[in-house]
Amino acid sequence: MKHLFYVAIVAVLIACNNKTDYSKLPEQPAVQKNPVSEIQVSELMDAAGYTYIKGKHDKEDIWLAIPQAKLEVGQTVYYTGGMLMQNFESKELNRTFENIVFLEGVFSSQDAALEATKQVANPHQQSPQESAQKERPALPQLSLPDDVISIEDIYSKRQDFEGKTLQVYGVVWKVNNGILDRNWVHIEDGTSTEDKSSLTFTTQEMFAIGDTVKVKGKLILNKDFGYGYVYDVLIEEGVSLK
């Protein structure tokens, strides 16, 4: 019996020393130390207020779309985050992009792009309407119609208004058309709260910067489109009122 016990111990030791007899633990996925991507521009196209940028990322061609900007072929640009769109059709270019990333913009340096990632890391820290707001021009105080809800009231009473159809009024200061099959319109009405004075609504209609508009739509809270694009307050399916 004692002999069999020693034989068993030897067998276990041999098995442990034979590295081909056990499975290797799966390696931990590599942590992305640098969240910034870099491409060299190889092709540029402008259409409907957007600049379409082609370049190479990880030796593969990639398309980016940003609000229209002045770039040059051969220029190196940096970006972070973004919203990936698959099979995106641009009617203006008469072209379908198998994969394209929509961005707020690109950067000329890696340091500037890294600074932007600090905001993307916590999308609730700075929502798209807050970051866009920094770009907007000063707008005059408006006289609001009695049948609309001010931007100040929308933000301060958002929980009460959630899911309800509201009428809003304001001046258009920024427009992004054709993203996720809808247009994105940013307005201000001269009121503000919590350091927020800009309201975004989505629509199928066309608006121009400088338009004074009256729109109705459903108020949605905490709408997450992925890639750090979280709207804490958004008016969806906006329709203009005469």
132-168 residue pLDDT tens:
445 555 665 688 999 999 999 999 999 999 999 999 9
In angstroms, rounded to a whole number, what is the distance separating the alpha carbons of residues 215 and 177?
A: 17
Q: How far is CA 114 from the centre of its chain?
A: 16
User: For the chain, what is the radius of gyration of the CA atoms?
Assistant: 26
Percentage of the chain lying above the pLDDT 90 cut: 32
- pLDDT-derived band at 23 (thresholds 50, 70, 90) equals very low
The token duo for 29 is: 């996925």
What pLDDT shows up at residue 141?
A: 66
* Neighbour order of strands in the sheet with 37-47: 76-79, 37-47, 50-57, 60-67, 95-102, 83-90
**From CA 91, how far away is CA 177, in angstroms rounded?**
12
Comparing 200 with 229, which gets the higher pLDDT?
200
Q: Specify the pLDDT at position 2.
A: 43
Confidence of residue 227 (pLDDT cuts 50, 70, 90): low
- What one-character DSSP code corresponds to residue 231? E
Instruction: Determine what percent of the chain is predicted with pLDDT higher than 70.
Output: 73
14 within 8 A of 27, measured Cβ to Cβ: no
Task: Domains for the chain: give ranges and CATH numbers.
Answer: 37-120 (2.40.50), 128-240 (2.40.50.140)
Burial of 39 (0-12, 13-18, 19+ CB in 10 A): buried
Q: Is the pLDDT of residue 122 over 60?
A: no
> Is it the case that residue 201 has pLDDT exceeding 50?
yes
- pLDDT, position 150: 94
Q: pLDDT-based confidence at 62, cuts 50/70/90?
A: very high
* Range with the poorest average pLDDT among 21-30, 135-144, 183-192: 21-30
Phi and psi at 139, nearest 5°, equal -115, 150
Read off the DSSP letter of residue 126: S
- State the pLDDT at residue 183: 86
Instruction: Return the pLDDT at 47.
Output: 85
